[in-house]
């Protein structure tokens, strides 16, 4: 699997060029600003941006070229993704922002997770004594939390940015006004939501032109969102939490604007203007663990990403994965993931409400006590019972197992670096593909269904569940934006991924591929994935499903199911002499877009 960087760049650049969608669109279908070609890797100077979308990456590069820093460019990229990736992100959602400050060589984070209404309790998704069907909960006002993305953008810019909100929103406002080219991935995602979208006139007006699926190569415009961005640029993100826009959001949640002719039952929510006015994005310390002498930083709870990736790395610390065979490497990666997810399910929730043992989950002593469960020639049984991080005992479990619960698969990730060496790793989401399916009329964006990340009922009634709904509570997430520093505090790599609970395993596997297996970053991102989340079976992408490695792993006792696609990572890597390498997916989700300010060579 180890290929030279030169061959990797050549092969993947050629592949991405052949996969770029919309390049052959007729002139009349092209947006006013031509979409740059998608390439999965770029090397150069002055800063770098990697995202799933070429227009969005270009928006970040535009801000960097105008002298903005990584934070400015990250917000610009995120805002553009709200236009071109509206089923994954937008101002109606939330996310987690990790920032490396080159001047102080320190890492900081923002928890911009959505919150439940203050009237919510643990029976939010229980009706007549039974949990609601998941699909019914998703497409409802009940699933919509107070958006955190706008507050995240404002907090990041106010704390570390160098440009005004209006300035960094300008590229996204332009894309929304002039339009972007519909590609096959966008059409496919729209098709997957067709039955939902057509039941909400405001949503259909945005994404179903003339009541039909948008054609590949056509231009899709969103003038409502352009006006919303212009409003926020003039008044600040507070305009979303107060005033007319806030009232529009509350009305949409509490009186979902469903087509009267539709037979869909859409349950109302109970969001208030006070819920929006009280929302704050949280500046908080990152998680930190040491792996092979490097410092690995990520997001702390309410996300479980930092603790679970960190615990799994600590479990793998004493196994030399660089010399392991492919089968042994995969075996240990799968088992470390299984153990870390067992502990995640029992211990991680919103720390404002739950007593989360973050420090203990990340201790090497606890990881060692759990690592001794893993054998070279046998497979652990799932669901595995958790350990007790406050009282670690070698090879012991504590209480009963907590089965893994479902978490929506969509989201998007972006990674940015600037010429001063600052980095942002930022994952943002509206949860499911298409979120709640409910757009705010006249405002141009979808609202999240983030509250379905709560457990509807206890995952195991005999075990305390830290992730039940509650008043003002933030649901547990798996988002794992990560930045790795060397011993001197200089960046090595930054990355993240969408994918629901598989975000954790995607980030973990990409880190291990890059740090241990010697893969170039773009190869570590492209490598076929496995995802084990304390379940009876491990998910495999097709390339592993059809490989001899699967047969060998099954001989050890592993059981597998096939998943056509796991995650869609992006990352940046610091290179010598002021250069950056940006890397994105070559194929997954239609391929990503890596761009630099000034290409090398």
Asked if 398 and 416 count as a contact pair (C-beta separation under 8 A), the reply is no
DSSP secondary structure code for residue 439 in this structure: B
According to the model, what pLDDT value does residue 11 have?
36
- Catalytic pick from 155, 219, 307, 411? 411
Instruction: Say what the alpha-carbon torsion angle 351, 354, 360, 361 is, to the nearest 10 degrees.
Output: -80
According to the model, what pLDDT value does residue 252 have?
98
DSSP secondary structure code for residue 413 in this structure: E
CATH code (residue 183): 3.60.20.40
Instruction: Name the nearest CA neighbour of 570 among 556, 546, 543, 589.
Output: 589
Six-digit token string for 320: 């030399």
Give the C-alpha distances (Å, rounded to integers) separating 173 from 138, 166, 221, 282, 388: 29, 10, 11, 27, 49
Beta strand 482-485 with 294-298: parallel, antiparallel or unpaired? Answer: antiparallel
Assign 395 a pLDDT band (cuts: 50, 70, 90).
confident
According to the model, what pLDDT value does residue 159 have?
98
Q: Is 388 among the domain residues?
A: no
Summarised one tens digit per residue, pLDDT across range 91-122 is 999 999 999 999 999 999 999 999 999 999 99
Asked if 264 and 195 count as a contact pair (C-beta separation under 8 A), the reply is no
Assign 403 a pLDDT band (cuts: 50, 70, 90).
confident
Kindly state the average pLDDT of the residues 45-51: 98
Paired with 219 in beta bridges are: 181
According to the model, what pLDDT value does residue 552 have?
98
How many domains are there within the chain? 1
Tokens 């298409």 correspond to 434
How many Å apart are CA 73 and CA 367, to the nearest integer?
Answer: 37
Beta strand 580-584 with 282-284: parallel, antiparallel or unpaired? Answer: unpaired
Kindly state the average pLDDT of the residues 151-157: 98
Q: Is 29 among the domain residues?
A: yes
According to the model, what pLDDT value does residue 407 have?
73
Active site residue 510: no
3-state secondary structure 341-365: HHHHHHHCCCCCCCCCCHHHHCCHH
How many Å apart are CA 496 and CA 298, to the nearest integer?
Answer: 10
Q: Is 94 among the domain residues?
A: yes
Assign 292 a pLDDT band (cuts: 50, 70, 90).
very high
The values of phi and psi at residue 353, to 5°, are -120, -40
Can you tell me whether residue 255 is helix, strand or coil?
A: coil
Q: Is 398 among the domain residues?
A: no
Tokens 């570590």 correspond to 524
Summarised one tens digit per residue, pLDDT across range 240-273 is 999 999 999 999 999 999 999 999 999 999 999 9
Asked if 412 and 81 count as a contact pair (C-beta separation under 8 A), the reply is yes
Q: Is 467 among the domain residues?
A: yes
Q: Is 386 among the domain residues?
A: no
Q: Is 516 among the domain residues?
A: yes
Q: Percentage of the chain with pLDDT > 70?
A: 94
Summarised one tens digit per residue, pLDDT across range 551-560 is 999 999 999 9
- 565: Cβ contacts below 8 Å, ≥ 6 apart: 541, 588, 589
Tokens 């509807």 correspond to 456
Exposed/middle/buried for residue 376 (C-beta within 10 Å: 0-12, 13-18, 19+): exposed
How many Å apart are CA 106 and CA 123, to the nearest integer?
Answer: 41
Report the Cα 568 to chain-centroid distance in Å: 9
The region, left, alpha or beta by phi > 0 then psi within -120 to 50, assigned to residue 499 is: left
Summarised one tens digit per residue, pLDDT across range 184-213 is 999 999 999 999 999 999 999 999 999 999
Helices (H), 317-466: 326-347, 358-361, 364-371
The residue segments making up the domain with residue 138 are 5-283+406-599
How many Å apart are CA 591 and CA 20, to the nearest integer?
Answer: 8
According to the model, what pLDDT value does residue 34 have?
67
Q: What angle do CA 541, 543, 545 make, to 5 degrees?
A: 65
Asked if 32 and 14 count as a contact pair (C-beta separation under 8 A), the reply is no
Q: Is 357 among the domain residues?
A: no
């Amino acid at each position: 699997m180890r290929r030279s960087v030169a061959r990797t760049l050549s092969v993947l650049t050629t592949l991405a060029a052949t996969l770029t969608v919309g390049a052959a669109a007729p002139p009349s279908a092209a947006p006013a600003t031509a979409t740059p070609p998608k390439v999965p890797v770029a090397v150069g100077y002055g800063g770098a941006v990697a995202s799933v979308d070429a227009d969005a990456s270009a928006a970040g590069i535009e801000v960097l070229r105008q002298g903005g820093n990584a934070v400015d460019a990250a917000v610009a990229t995120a805002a553009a993704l709200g236009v071109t990736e509206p089923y994954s992100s937008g101002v109606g959602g939330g996310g987690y922002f990790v920032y490396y400050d080159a001047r102080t060589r320190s890492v900081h984070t923002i928890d911009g997770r959505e919150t439940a209404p203050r009237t919510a309790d643990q029976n939010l998704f229980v009706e007549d004594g039974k949990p609601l069907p998941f699909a019914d909960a998703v497409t409802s006002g009940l699933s919509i939390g107070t958006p955190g993305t706008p507050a995240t953008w404002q907090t990041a810019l106010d704390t570390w940015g160098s440009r005004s909100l209006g300035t960094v929103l300008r590229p996204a406002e332009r894309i929304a006004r002039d339009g972007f080219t519909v590609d096959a991935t966008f059409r496919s995602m729209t098709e997957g939501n067709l039955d939902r979208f057509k039941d909400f006139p405001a949503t259909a007006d945005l994404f179903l032109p003339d009541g039909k699926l948008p054609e590949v190569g056509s231009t899709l415009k969103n003038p409502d969102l352009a006006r919303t961005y212009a409003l926020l640029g003039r008044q600040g993100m507070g305009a979303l939490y107060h005033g007319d826009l806030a009232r529009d959001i509350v009305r949409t949640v509490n009186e979902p604007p469903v087509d009267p002719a539709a037979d869909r039952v859409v349950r109302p929510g109970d969001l208030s203007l006070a819920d929006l006015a009280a929302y704050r994005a949280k500046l908080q310390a990152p998680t930190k663990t040491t792996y092979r002498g490097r410092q690995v930083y990520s997001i702390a709870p309410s996300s479980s990403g930092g603790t679970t990736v960190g615990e799994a790395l600590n479990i793998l610390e004493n196994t030399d994965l660089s010399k392991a065979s492919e089968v042994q490497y995969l075996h240990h990666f799968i088992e470390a993931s299984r153990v870390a997810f067992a502990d995640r399910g029992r211990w991680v929730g919103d720390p404002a409400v739950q007593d989360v043992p973050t420090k203990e989950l990340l201790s090497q002593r606890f990881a060692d006590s759990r690592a001794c469960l893993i054998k070279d020639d046998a497979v652990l049984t799932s669901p595995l019972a958790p350990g007790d991080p406050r009282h670690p005992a070698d090879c012991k479990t504590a209480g009963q197992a907590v089965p893994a619960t479902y978490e929506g698969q969509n989201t998007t990730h972006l990674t940015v670096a600037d010429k001063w060496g600052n980095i942002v790793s930022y994952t943002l989401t509206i949860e499911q593909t298409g979120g709640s399916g409910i757009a705010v009329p006249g405002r141009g964006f979808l609202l999240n269904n983030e509250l379905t990340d709560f457990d509807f009922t206890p995952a195991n009634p005999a075990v305390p569940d830290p992730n039940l709904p509650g008043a003002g509570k933030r649901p547990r997430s798996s988002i794992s934006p990560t930045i790795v520093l060397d011993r001197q505090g200089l960046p090595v790599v930054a990355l993240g991924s969408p994918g629901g609970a598989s975000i954790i395993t995607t980030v973990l596997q990409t880190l291990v591929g890059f740090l241990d297996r010697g893969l170039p970053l773009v190869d570590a991102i492209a490598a076929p994935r496995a995802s084990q989340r304390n379940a009876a079976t491990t998910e495999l992408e097709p390339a592993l499903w059809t490989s001899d490695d699967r047969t060998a792993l099954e001989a050890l006792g592993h059981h597998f199911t096939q998943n056509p696609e796991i995650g869609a990572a992006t990352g940046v890597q610091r290179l010598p002499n002021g250069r950056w390498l940006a890397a994105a997916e070559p194929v997954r989700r239609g391929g990503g877009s890596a761009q630099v300010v000034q290409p090398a060579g």
